[in-house]
């Protein structure tokens, strides 16, 4: 399972569309995981979505994201947890513990959207560290 | 820091205004700022300004930071923000320092204005569309977007097939603006609008004296599109004689204006479009096979709107934004009942027809929300004929939409699942949860 987080310094980048870097966190199903830092090669939705797909990313955690960008990434079969903020380590821990929906991790004004895949995903769906 | 009186003043301003303290935390946030960002004052106060504004410059080129560092104002800098609904909005921001009476630095103030209206108008006038302007979350369209940049880069001829009103010219323009030819002209010609003789002079131009009234040279569309893109719409309508001429132009990369004695070289990329099935026309002998293969290097098939009904709400929002801009109105959206009517229609005229329906509703709806009564009667008549119950909620609308697609596919579930781009087990689950009964 590969989790990608768009990052700026040690935090989730506020705007995914403008982010330069992302961090891939890979787990083998146990508590062991390794981190790989990557740069985005494209700024357009299809280019970014393709890069994440090529990196075999299963889940993306990011800050504010525009709709076309989110549609493009979801269309690649990647689950998107959008409008998230906070320090990367806290976010990874929250994701592992299914606590990403907590208000502390959501950007102001975005409670309705930050529920994994953003559009129409039902409340209560749990994110799991497979 | 900001008292009640100041808040009243700030709220009366049409531009968004917020102030921050020395730690970049928001200390005041006016009504216009709430409206533009989609974040309420209560949610914004005390938060880091970057988390509230969500601008593309926040992390690397923050204007407030620059002002705090240099003390200099920044005026009308264009940036993009993402509002709470996920819409990317262009805004113009200005910043200044905030000091108390003794000159002590209290923080900074930022004012911003939504300039999406100006940007949209500029786009409509310039017709410089890119893929971000093609609105869809349909899986076929998204797959198309994946390969579009490669097609644009290739420089090869492209054939766009799709029913009338599916956006063939928009795709052609987007390909042009993504390609290396984007600085050269994009010239569009509708082949079905002109008889053969006129089409020939229109495409290749003519020399003075070529025929009566040809008093001076006239450049053809090939000449006008030099180094750019020539878009030949309705190419399936041209005669066999014209097909031969066009084939030669594509093969030899030369053409002869009417009345000219010498051939001219051209460097034009051709994008052709048709609402017919050219392959079938080739089999029937109505379209030359060699020309077909010349223009069919890349084929793009645009699905009709009835096969991408999930795009209807998105496109409706888009047209409402556009007509609000063009007609200076403030229509907020469509009611659920009206949306269920829109979702139940099959759109033989595709996206153009949906645009016309919304434009018509704008005439009847003065303000607020577009209701069912603002939509043409034939939509409701068709809906009551097609379905047995009225959709009163989003769930009903989904049931109506799914029933209609199942009906179109003769209740064939695997085929319906393929059309919707979902797994058939997902479809069965939806059918069960929405309570749809499959006949037989």
Q: Could you give the ipTM of this predicted complex?
A: 0.84
Q: From chain B, which residues contact A within 8 Å (Cβ)?
A: 37-40, 43-44, 47, 50-52, 54-60, 80, 82, 84-88, 131-132, 135-137, 139, 142-143, 145-146, 148-149
What mean pLDDT do residues B306-310 have?
A: 88
Same domain, B381 and B239: no
* Chain A residues with CB-CB distance to B310 below 8 A: none
* Chain B residues with CB-CB distance to A65 below 8 A: 82, 86
pLDDT above 70: percentage of residues in chain A:
82
Name the residue among B40, B56, B132 with its Cβ closest to that of A15: B56
Which residue of A lies nearest to B144 if distances are taken between CA atoms? A46
Mutate: best of B34, B62, B82, B422, partner A, most A CBs <10 A: B82
pLDDT at B392: 59
Task: Write out pLDDT tens, residues A54-92.
Answer: 999 999 999 999 988 888 888 788 999 999 999 999 999
Flag whether the pTM goes above 0.80. Answer: no
Q: Is residue B16 part of a domain?
A: yes
pLDDT at B3: 64
A92 vs B143, more confident: A92
The yes-or-no verdict on residue B439 having pLDDT over 80 is no
Question: B303 CA to chain A: closest CA distance, Å?
Answer: 17
pLDDT band at B405 (very low <50, low <70, confident <90, very high): confident
Taken in order B302, B308, B310, B312, the sign of the CA dihedral is positive
Of B39-43, B306-310, B385-389, the range with the lowest mean pLDDT is: B385-389
Q: Is residue B23 part of a domain?
A: yes
What's the residue count for chain A? 130
* Chain B residues with CB-CB distance to A78 below 8 A: none
Same domain, B263 and B167: yes
Q: Are B84 and A109 within 8 A, CB to CB?
A: yes
Q: Are B157 and B297 in contact (CB under 8 A)?
A: yes
Mutate: best of B142, B430, B433, partner A, most A CBs <10 A: B142
Q: Are B235 and B274 in contact (CB under 8 A)?
A: yes
Give me the domain span that covers residue B278: 124-303
- Cα–Cα distance measured from residue B259 to residue B436, given in angstroms and rounded to the nearest whole number: 67
Q: Where are the domains of chain A?
A: 2-105
What mean pLDDT do residues B221-231 have?
A: 93
Q: Is residue B74 part of a domain?
A: yes
Same domain, B201 and B233: yes
Question: A126 CA to chain B: closest CA distance, Å?
Answer: 18
Same domain, B295 and B312: no
pLDDT at A119: 37
Name the residue among B58, B139, B146 with its Cβ closest to that of A50: B146
Same domain, B311 and B411: yes
Same domain, B216 and B347: no
Inter-residue long-range contacts of A43-46, CB under 8 Å, 24+ positions, other chains counted: A43/A17, A44/B131, A44/B132, A44/B149, A45/A69, A45/A71, A45/A72, A45/A73, A45/B131, A45/B132, A45/B145, A46/A72, A46/B131, A46/B145, A46/B146, A46/B148, A46/B149
Q: Is residue B232 part of a domain?
A: yes
Last residue of a domain, one of B258, B287, B303: B303
Query: Which CATH number is B63's domain given?
Result: 3.30.450.20
Of A103-107, B182-186, B259-263, the range with the lowest mean pLDDT is: B259-263
Q: Is residue B94 part of a domain?
A: yes
The yes-or-no verdict on residue B185 having pLDDT over 50 is yes
pLDDT band at B387 (very low <50, low <70, confident <90, very high): very low
- Count residue pairs from A and B with Cβ separation < 8 A: 87
What mean pLDDT do residues A5-12 have?
A: 95
Mutate: best of B146, B148, B315, partner A, most A CBs <10 A: B146
What is the DSSP pairing of strand A59-61 with strand A2-8? parallel
pLDDT band at B124 (very low <50, low <70, confident <90, very high): low
Which letter does DSSP use for residue B256 in this model? -
Q: Are A108 and B44 within 8 A, CB to CB?
A: yes
Last residue of a domain, one of B279, B303, B327: B303
Same domain, B351 and B237: no
What mean pLDDT do residues B152-181 have?
A: 90
- Cα–Cα distance measured from residue B21 to residue B208, given in angstroms and rounded to the nearest whole number: 73
Name the residue among B86, B132, B146 with its Cβ closest to that of A118: B86
Q: How many domains does chain B have?
A: 3
Which letter does DSSP use for residue B220 in this model? -
pLDDT at A6: 96
Same domain, B72 and B151: no
Average pLDDT, chain B: 86
Which residue of B lies nearest to A50 if distances are taken between CA atoms? B146
Q: What is the CATH number of domain A2-105?
A: 3.30.420.130
What's the residue count for chain B? 440
Q: Is residue B439 part of a domain?
A: no
Name the token pair of A95.
Answer: 């994701």
Q: Is residue B440 part of a domain?
A: no
Task: Write out pLDDT tens, residues B47-102.
Answer: 999 999 999 999 988 999 899 888 888 999 999 999 988 888 999 999 999 888 88
Same domain, B81 and B145: no
* Chain B residues with CB-CB distance to A44 below 8 A: 131-132, 149
Q: Are A46 and B84 within 8 A, CB to CB?
A: no
pLDDT band at B138 (very low <50, low <70, confident <90, very high): confident
The yes-or-no verdict on residue B384 having pLDDT over 50 is no
Q: Are B149 and A64 within 8 A, CB to CB?
A: no
Which residue of A lies nearest to B55 if distances are taken between CA atoms? A15
A33 vs B225, more confident: B225
Last residue of a domain, one of B303, B332, B351: B303
pLDDT at B262: 85
pLDDT at B130: 59
Residue B156's region, left for phi above 0, alpha for psi from -120 to 50, else beta, is beta
């Amino acid at each position: 399972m590969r989790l990608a987080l768009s990052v700026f310094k040690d935090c989730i980048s506020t705007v995914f569309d403008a982010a330069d870097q992302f961090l891939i966190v890979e787990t083998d199903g146990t508590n062991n995981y390794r981190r790989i830092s990557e740069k985005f090669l494209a700024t357009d939705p299809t280019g970014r979505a393709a890069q994440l797909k090529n990196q075999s990313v299963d889940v993306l955690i990011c800050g504010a994201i525009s709709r076309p960008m989110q549609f493009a990434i979801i269309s690649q079969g990647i689950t998107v947890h959008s409008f998230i903020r906070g320090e990367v380590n806290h976010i990874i821990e929250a994701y592992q513990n299914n606590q990403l929906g907590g208000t502390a991790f959501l950007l102001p004004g975005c409670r309705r959207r930050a529920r994994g895949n953003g559009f129409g995903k039902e409340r209560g769906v749990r994110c799991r560290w497979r | 820091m900001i008292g009640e009186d100041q808040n009243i003043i700030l709220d009366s301003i049409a531009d968004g205004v917020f102030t921050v303290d020395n730690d970049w935390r928001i200390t005041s946030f006016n009504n216009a700022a709430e409206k533009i960002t989609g974040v309420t004052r209560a949610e914004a106060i005390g938060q880091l300004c970057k988390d509230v504004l969500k601008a593309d410059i926040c992390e690397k080129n923050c204007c407030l930071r620059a002002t705090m560092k240099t003390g200099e104002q920044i005026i009308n800098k264009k940036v993009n923000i993402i509002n709470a609904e996920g819409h990317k909005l262009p805004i113009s921001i200005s910043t200044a320092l905030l000091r108390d009476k003794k000159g002590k630095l209290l923080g900074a103030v930022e004012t911003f204005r939504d300039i999406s209206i100006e940007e949209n108008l500029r786009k409509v006038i310039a017709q410089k569309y890119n893929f971000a302007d093609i609105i869809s979350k349909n899986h076929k369209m998204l797959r198309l977007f994946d390969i579009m940049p490669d097609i644009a880069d290739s420089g090869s001829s492209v054939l766009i097939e799709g029913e009338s009103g599916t956006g063939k010219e928009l795709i052609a323009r987007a390909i042009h603006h993504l390609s290396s030819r984007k600085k050269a002209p994009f010239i569009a010609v509708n082949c079905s609008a002109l008889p053969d003789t006129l089409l020939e002079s229109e495409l290749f131009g003519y020399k003075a004296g070529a025929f009566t009234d040809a008093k001076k040279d006239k450049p053809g569309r090939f000449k006008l599109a030099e180094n750019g893109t020539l878009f030949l719409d309705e190419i399936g309508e041209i005669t066999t004689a014209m097909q031969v001429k066009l084939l030669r132009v594509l093969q030899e990369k030369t053409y002869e204006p009417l009345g000219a004695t010498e051939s001219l070289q051209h460097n034009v990329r051709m994008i052709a479009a048709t609402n017919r099935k050219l392959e079938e026309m080739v089999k029937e002998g109505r379209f030359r096979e060699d020309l077909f293969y010349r223009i069919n290097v890349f084929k793009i098939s645009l699905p009709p709107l009835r096969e991408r009904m999930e795009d209807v709400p998105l496109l409706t929002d888009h047209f409402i934004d556009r007509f609000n801009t063009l007609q200076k109105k403030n229509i907020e959206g469509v009611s659920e009942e009206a949306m269920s009517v829109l979702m139940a229609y099959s759109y033989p005229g595709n996206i153009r027809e949906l645009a016309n329906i919304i434009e018509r509703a704008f005439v009847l709806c003065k303000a607020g929300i577009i209701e069912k009564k603002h939509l043409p009667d034939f939509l409701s008549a068709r809906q009551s004929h097609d379905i047995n119950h009225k959709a009163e909620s989003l769930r009903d609308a989904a049931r109506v939409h799914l029933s209609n697609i199942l009906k179109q596919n003769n209740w064939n579930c695997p085929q319906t699942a393929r059309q919707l781009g979902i797994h058939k087990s997902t479809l069965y689950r939806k059918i069960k949860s929405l309570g749809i009964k499959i006949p037989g």
